[in-house]
Structures are given as C-alpha cells and as structure tokens.
Amino acid sequence: MSHVHIWWIRRDIRLKDNQTLQAAMKNAENLIPLFILEPELMEAAAPKRRAFILNALKDLDVQLRDLGSRLIVRQGPAKRAFADLKEDFPDFAIFAHEDFSPFARERDAEIKESYHLSLHPGVVLRHPTSVLKDDGDPYIVYTPYKNKWYEEPLPNPGDLLPIPDTLPPLPENIETMELPMAEQVASFPATTAEAQARFSDFLEDGIQRYKSERDRMDLDGTSQLSPYLRFGLLSIREAFTKAQVALMQTKKDQERKEMRTWMNELIWREFYTTILYHFPHVMDGPFRKEYADIPWREDATDLEAWQNGQTGYPVVDACMRQLLEMGWMHNRGRMIVASFLTKDLLINWQAGEAWFMNNLVDGDPAANNGGWQWTAGTGTDAAPYFRIFNPILQGKKYDPEGEFIATWVPELKNLPKEFRHEPWEMDDETAQKYDFKLGRDYPQQIVDHFFARDRTLEAYKSARESG
C-alpha cells in the first residue's frame, strides 16, 4: 500500500474528532490534506454557502500550518484533480468521509475505478444501511426509525478523537493553488473555534430549554449550529455525545425532555439522509407518487413576492428577509414559508426547495428536500396534505409580541404590537397617527388565505383521484 496518503477533505473541515484524518495518518510517510474545488458543487452553491466553505478552509489551513503542514488546493472535477496528482505521485491512497447524495455516490464510484479510495464514517452517526426494518427494507416513517436508531450502541466520550499533536509531512515540492477570496458570512463566522464556542454555549445555557423555546422565532432558542454540522466544523459524533452526557448529568425530568428533543432533531437529519440514500428519486419529484400531478400554479409574480418577502403576510415576509440577510432561517419559519408557498400560493415545492438551496448557508440537499416535501405533504412521513398553516395564527403563536417581525420588517416596527401581525386591521385614525398606509408602506396581501386553502384542498384531491 502507498505511503503517500491523501486526506480528501469534503464535509469534515476540522482536525478534532476526524475519523478520516485518523485513518489517513496511519502508516503514512507523507500526508496531503487536499481540498478539490469541484465546479459541480462550488459553482452551484449559494454565495453565502460558498463563502462559508472557503473561509472554513482558510481557517483549517492556519491550523494545519501550526502543525507543520498546509492545505493543498486543486481545481476539479475530482477525477481530473487526482489525475494531475498522479503525474507527480504515481502511487497514493485516498481517504475521505463517506457522503450519501446521488452526486457524491456517483463521483466516489468513479474515483474508485481508478484509485484506492477508502471511505470513513463521520457525516452521520448511523450509515443509511445500518438502521433497517427486520425485513431489510428502509424505514419511511421517522418514529420507528428513531426507535431502531437508539437500539444501536451509542457513541461515548471515549470515542472522540483529539486534535493530532503532529501530522506526517507533505511530500516535497507539492504545488497548490490559492483559495478564492470570500467575504465572511457575518451571521456564521466560519471557524472551528466559533463552532466549539457556539456548541459550548448551547450546552451550558440553551439545550435545557430547547423543547420549550425552539419554535419561538422571537427568542434565541435554537443552537444555530446547522452550517457547522453541515460542513463538519463540528463533528456530529461530538455534538450527540456531549448532549448525551448533559442528558445523563441532569436529574430534572423536564430538562431531559428538552435535551432529548434536540438530540432527536439530529436523528431527523440522519433519517432524511437515509431517505435520500434509498430513494434518490426524491431529488427529482415527490416521494409519494400520488402527488406527482398536482396542478401547481406557475405564477412568477407571486413567486418573486415570496422570494423577496413582499407577500403582505408579516411573518412570512420576516422569515424570507431573514433568509436573504443571514443565509439561514429559523426552523419554524421554514415550515411557515414552505406552507405558504405550497398551500397558499399553490406553487410547486421544488421552486421553494431550489430557492432555499440558492440562499442557505447550511443548504443540505437531504434535509432541505425532506423538509420541503414534509410540508408540501408529498414526502415520506409527511404532514397530511390538508394541514395548512394559517400564517397569521402561526405568527401570533410563535412571535406573540411581533418582535421577530419588527426586526425583519422594519416598516412595521413602529406600529402598535397588536397590529404587527395584521396591519390591515388598523382603523383609519390609528393608521393616520402612525403615518402608515397599506399598499404604500407595506404590501397588500397577495392572496386571501381562506380562498387559498379551499383551492389547495381541491388541487390535492384532484391529484389523488387522478393518481
């Protein structure tokens, strides 16, 4: 076996608890920490997601240099990048985190045809083939999947790998290219130190209230760790293990419920990865074939209003503007805006899925697809098609004082709190007092919710009957 080992960095931009790095270091005379700028991924990535990746790599390079190494960057596609390396290093072995998207699986199969590629765990805790029904079929409902997931041995703190003290040296005279310049994503500094700090803060003062506060958009009730888990600045094993330790250390039943809810969210992430692995057709259409022929509306004006937070529904607009500014959206908000697009506007969930992927820093294909199909009612273990969120009631319930709306829809900030969710309910005297005019200062509603609800129920019923 070759003693030149390549650590092919993909969704593991870290040194701590990196099973792939540990494997690549073993028996290596030389180690090449390699990132390939794959055009299929980098050019299609949302600008903020691309910037996050590039800045995370620059942070990793600093850490590698402290250990006497450095990041080697090559231009993709991957097959071409390895062919170029082979000219200088005829014999090498490649080590990488196993990934499960259709693109990743096809790419890795192609690389394996010509090179020794060793794939290692780390993207998820359970391989998509390891949590199956007794008959060997994959689960398509979350709760039994979760129950089976917990039956397998859980990782423990002793499994976590430290940052190496040293690394095998780079081969002599190896060439690299400079990483493209990228501005920092203000909401998500792309460093492993930031990932660790956020996670530590959440464990200390956050996870204990997660179940109670996670849906409140006006509170800081979520971990906001999704970009760091998505690209491996924080390992999923460390996240789950340390949450499990916190769970075991508390004697308060309510705190245990709060913590368990967050841990179960990590398992939702694994569930959707498993669905994508076994049912890759979900990337091209509905999981549930009976909804393949929903008569979606193709209305570019309504779609654009939704994309830009100009629907006339304050909570929807607040969420969509948060996405544009931060490259992230509160999870409750993701459900609200997805329901509005698919059920109020009757626009295909795939348009929303694509818009999210064009803007999200975390942008995980499996989770994004799973979330959109869940809300649209077309996916596995999905919300029933007749579950249609009332955006006004959702806003009042999860942003009761309208503070979230005031933050992201500043044209409503100075209104009395009771009108932030329904500015159209102000009488003329109140509107004059606050110099507010609907249609001038804030858009009119682009659709009547109750009309839209009836329209959607009829459209889904039609699709089910024709299917």
Write out the catalytic residue numbers: 265, 268, 296, 331, 349, 372
Going by C-alpha positions, the residue among 8, 53, 9, 35 that lies closest to residue 360 is 53
How far the first Cα of the chain sits from its last, in Å, is: 55
CA distance 390 to 402: 16
Both structure tokens of 358: 């064009």
**How crowded is residue 193: how many other Cβ atoms within 10 Å of its Cβ?**
11
Q: For residue 217, with 0-12 CB atoms within 10 Å meaning exposed, 13-18 middle and 19 or more buried, which class applies?
A: buried
Sheet harboring 72-75: ordered strands across?
72-75, 30-37, 4-8, 93-97, 116-120
The H or E element containing residue 143 is helix 142-151
CA distance 275 to 269: 10
Partnered with residue 4 across adjacent β-strands are: 30
Going by C-alpha positions, the residue among 456, 454, 102, 144 that lies closest to residue 291 is 456
Q: DSSP characters for 358-383? A: TT-SS--HHHHHHHHHHHHT-STTPP
Contacts of 240 (CB under 8 A, 6+ apart): 125, 154, 155, 263, 266
